[in-house]
């Protein structure tokens, strides 16, 4: 989180789905249930450029254990496990 705060001109723009420390800096926690309507709304925001998602690495499903290790070691964005490859 400290790296994120260093990059943001306004800490209140930080949102997390996992790190409750974001609240201490004026950020928000977002809870998203995986239903089609809400996921489509998030996709629309990404498409419109109103929401960005930094992706560190994409792993195939066969390398899921490696993906988890990579994430635990520290990543610079989301670690994706692609179930389609």
CA dihedral sign, ordered 6, 53, 18, 64: negative
16 vs 65, residue with greater confidence = 65
How far is Cα 66 from Cα 72, in angstroms, rounded to an integer?
Answer: 10
pLDDT at 66: 93
Kindly tell me if the per-residue pLDDT of 5 is higher than 70.
no
Average pLDDT over residues 52-77: 89
Kindly tell me if the per-residue pLDDT of 46 is higher than 80.
yes
Task: Evaluate whether 22 touches 10 at the Cβ level (below 8 Å).
Answer: no
Map residue 5 onto helix, strand or coil.
helix
């Amino acid at each position: 989180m400290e790296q994120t705060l260093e990059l943001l001109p306004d800490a209140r723009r930080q949102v997390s789905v996992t790190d409750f420390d974001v609240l201490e800096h004026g950020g928000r926690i977002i809870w998203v249930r995986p239903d089609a309507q809400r996921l489509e709304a998030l996709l629309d925001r990404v498409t419109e450029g109103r929401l960005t998602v930094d992706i560190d690495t994409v792993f195939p499903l066969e390398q899921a254990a490696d993906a988890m290790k990579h994430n635990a070691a520290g990543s610079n964005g989301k670690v994706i496990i692609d179930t389609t490859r």
